[in-house]
Structure 1
């Protein structure tokens, strides 16, 4: 017999989410997650993928992944600290360090894992973390896991950061104080004010941590937000993911050699979870090599991004203050946002509705993610659909 209390709790709350337009329906994609996708047999222009550079379906990555399976098998076979560290994991980490301009790097099973692992390995109950209020959920969870005092900072408000850093350090309550921020904020597409953050960190001797999941492969000609500002020698911990612009799966932290040594002996996902598969490791390395050799894909991404942004702005949509390819069309009401997204899908454009709790209530938006793989024709079709539905629903 299963719990009636649990059934009641689940049914009541799922029903409530559906009524308020907050229930997220999960779609199943048939085939590759490229510029065009197929859902329930229907082909659509895909504007919801994090596959910024189109590398998920790149033939060069597929070839090395297939070769790795033949040579190494389908799994690593153990955790990294026993005998799950393959030579290709070491190659990946060396390439990551070179890519990010640091002494060393450590790879993990996912970007979310990185933040859970690295923050809690460095910070504890005797410390404090200054965290931007719009930081990613994985940062929030990593901070909670550390048991450090979490001090919420107004979004990109440098006066608030300086004041709270001063109070935390001068209070004498904490052994260490960290400032942590997304490099690129995933819902609005704005970029952290890293030069100012670093200045404040140096003034108060703060540990600096940048989550560059949406910046790597995008900013700094592909090398990320920290490289974009030329701050590789000023940021203590650079976290990134291998599942967005890199096109594969996994995550990493880059920094000084002693930091990476510490994470290898104290970060729990590294110690207790099997390493990423050989195919994932070697295809990630190949992707990074491609980005280091050429900026062609990065330039195409930005060309497509600017084209889509201008088209939507000219129609009169509110696209916020995005400084990156992330292009939100802000609707506001959650039900209207869900309806708008569904109408886009009916017109052949897949752009997912983003509502609370991912974004604050009343700020629902359809988030568009143009990639290097999109053609001008695809983007023109998407803009035409936005115009049709925007007029139909009275938004433009």
Structure 2
């Protein structure tokens, strides 16, 4: 504004002088009783120039067709940018192809193998009752639903499935989604709007950032938890800069925790103390904190202070909680999280894809496992592909939470609804779980037996929770290179499959990952596995790992 004022003054002065110059010869001119002043001449000239410019035809450069030689040269010079990062040398790109259902025993390359690579926790894949319900639904409704739920895509079996899940979990209402992974991707943007704050464990920084990117006005707070991510300050300087630059794509303001105070780094701010956390513009925060549940509550208290004292009274932090971390087998401490929620006024979004149908006395998930009342959880989501042997996902909670998604959740509004036969399979699977609680005892017995059998595996150790259906084996001693670690683990998995017909998988890492969790071998336990299956995978792993890791033990 200060720079524009001299320009305006100079322009006005020039026009005044021009008008004065024309005023002299026309000082006594009168046309049709109208006194002609110099400013009328200037304005007339300006109007003439404007009319001339508007009446001109736009300039079109002469069209000269390219010769065949020029076209060939342009095509030869064109180099398209890669759509994805190049595959590194030694990376495995060929994965085994299943030739039958992903049951505890499956077929690969015409050979029957024991399957520890598929999430089939209750062993319901291939269950006759579920298959019969799918066949009956196919005969009655056909395959697809022919549209989203709001556009002729709602079938009575969808409503039955929603009512069944809500009754099973003891919630007022629930809503179905077509794909398990799209559930949480749709729920978070539906509820996190401008000025809201998302608190996510560092293990899910990429996952939650993708969710938050659909609502660019939401804040993103990343909290390192359980030692899964080393503090940013411990990284080399060039990696710190790269991390800050990457997070800057998502966050306007980054707050990096140090041992004493919080430093704010933003496009228009200089490093300062934590007092700026209540600044109305500083609504996007990065917290690199070794544990959310430490005795030192300074960062959490200051974050809560920011959330409470911010100018918008409706601003509330949301805490997405993943019940079971799929890449490490850890289980979230829900009881502690709920206690913090009530103290610091969080909204808790609980994702239970790996705990629904698994944890708790009757398989009702993490809340039942910890004895937390279900109404203490604001939003619960889960994919149905891991325990219920079907596809799709659901979100459950209060009637208000569910109704809001029917018009605001992209995955519900714009996606074709879940095929009716998959909804029928979900209803049958929940009914089976209610009528056969012993299947949970079988699953826990298998998990306990596998932990016992895998103890003492050369070069490997179990880092997962004793109740997690994902048994995670990591290297006792890293080689110092994640690529080398992954190569060793994939070699073990390949040899176990080739030599002993046991299908296991090593954890994968994407070049886009911002959080480098420990790599390892994941074993997906099922209630359908037998003791002989578990003994075989244990003995095979011990023998192969002793051979592959002989130089690292």
1:319 corresponds to which of 462, 466, 470: 462
| Correspondence list, 1:312-391, <5 A | 312-316=454-458, 317-323=460-466, 324-331=468-475, 332=478, 333-347=485-499, 348-357=501-510, 361=516, 363-391=518-546
Q: Is the 8 A contact 1:183 1:226 kept in 2?
A: no
Aligned to 2:82: 9
Deviation at 1:120, TM superposition (A): 0.4
Work out the CA distance in 2 between the residues paired with 1:4 and 1:229. Answer: 60
- Which has more helix, going by share of residues? 1
Q: Which 4+ residue blocks in structure 1 deviate beyond 6 angstroms?
A: none
The answer to whether residue 294 in structure 2 is matched with residue 150 in structure 1 is no
Work out the CA distance in 1 between the residues paired with 2:474 and 2:182. Answer: 30
Deviation at 1:135, TM superposition (A): 2.9
Aligned to 1:99: 168
Work out the CA distance in 2 between the residues paired with 1:4 and 1:300. Answer: 60
Change in CA separation of 1:92 and 1:205 when aligned onto 2, cut-off 3 Å: same
Aligned to 2:183: 114
SS at 1:14 equivalent: coil
The alignment's TM-score, normalised by the length of structure 2, stands at 0.67
Aligned residues, how many?
391
Work out the CA distance in 1 between the residues paired with 2:496 and 2:546. Answer: 13
Q: Is the 8 A contact 1:337 1:365 kept in 2?
A: yes
Change in CA separation of 1:362 and 1:335 when aligned onto 2, cut-off 3 Å: farther
Q: Over residues 27-85 of structure 1, what are the superposed CA-to-partner deviations in whole Å (9 max), with x where a residue is unaligned?
A: 32101111112112222111111111111211110000000000011011111012111
Higher alpha-carbon Rg? 2
Change in CA separation of 1:103 and 1:290 when aligned onto 2, cut-off 3 Å: same
1:71 corresponds to which of 140, 164, 181: 140
Q: Over residues 135-194 of structure 1, what are the superposed CA-to-partner deviations in whole Å (9 max), with x where a residue is unaligned?
A: 385444223323311111121533369555433332234612111110111122111111
Change in CA separation of 1:139 and 1:288 when aligned onto 2, cut-off 3 Å: farther
Structure 2: gaps (5+ residues):
1-74, 227-290, 479-484
The answer to whether residue 430 in structure 2 is matched with residue 288 in structure 1 is yes
Q: Is the 8 A contact 2:205 2:515 kept in 1?
A: no
Q: What is the alpha-carbon root mean square deviation over aligned residues?
A: 2.3
Q: Is the 8 A contact 2:292 2:300 kept in 1?
A: no
Work out the CA distance in 2 between the residues paired with 1:90 and 1:2. Answer: 58
The alignment's TM-score, normalised by the length of structure 1, stands at 0.92
The answer to whether residue 307 in structure 2 is matched with residue 166 in structure 1 is no
Q: Is the 8 A contact 2:358 2:365 kept in 1?
A: yes
The answer to whether residue 192 in structure 2 is matched with residue 192 in structure 1 is no
Change in CA separation of 1:360 and 1:68 when aligned onto 2, cut-off 3 Å: same
